[in-house]
Structure 1
Amino acid sequence: MNEYQPQEQLQNATLILILGILSIIGCFCYGVLGIILAIVALILAQKATKTYAQNPEMYLGYQNVKIGKILAIIGLVISVIYMCLVIWLIVTFGMEALQDQELMQQRLEEMMGQ
């Protein structure tokens, strides 16, 4: 006998998708915001995946979880690369040069002259 069980939305599925999108946008905040949002999205996605795996026919919205997880991974990678770039720029040119365009140009000319 097959009993009909109404499907319910997988908890945090839409939130995971939104956090995945925001992690890509957040990478331009020196990478920090993107890393934080991506990690939160990945943790929530892991919990949602475990819940879905226990009883897949009971839940809707797993596609949002998968897409959000992929976007969070992309956002994490881009954020780490961007953060490494910012750290390299600060170490190479100094924080003052990043804030002053003329000083940055002078340091670039010095670097190219060596």
Structure 2
Amino acid sequence: MTRHTPIADDQPLAGRIATLLRVGTAIAALLLTAGTIALYTGAVLAHQILLTAGCSLLVLLPVIRLTMMAGHFVRQGDKRFAIITVSVLILVLTGAAAGAMLQSEGVESGSIP
């Protein structure tokens, strides 16, 4: 009978997540830097696009990480961690959707509707 060793099974996932976060953060930093430089050179549209892309990437990296983890746990057959990870992902996406709805309705932060 072989014993399931989650630490050994999770090492490839940990490496992929570390690479994703390292490369994603570096790309986001480059986009933000380029956007800031574009602002000072007067390229208004370019700076808005670059800054938006950089910020969006920084926000999406944790969501991508959760998606990778959920897929890994489902493939491993670890239902408990899969349920926990999917629950956290649903909470994050629900919060993002609620924020987007409030923003589209024009609710200002700090104001009482």
Q: Scaled by the length of structure 1, what TM-score is found?
A: 0.40
Q: Which has the higher contact order (CA 8 A, sep 6+)?
A: 1
Q: Scaled by the length of structure 2, what TM-score is found?
A: 0.40
Larger Rg over CA atoms: 1
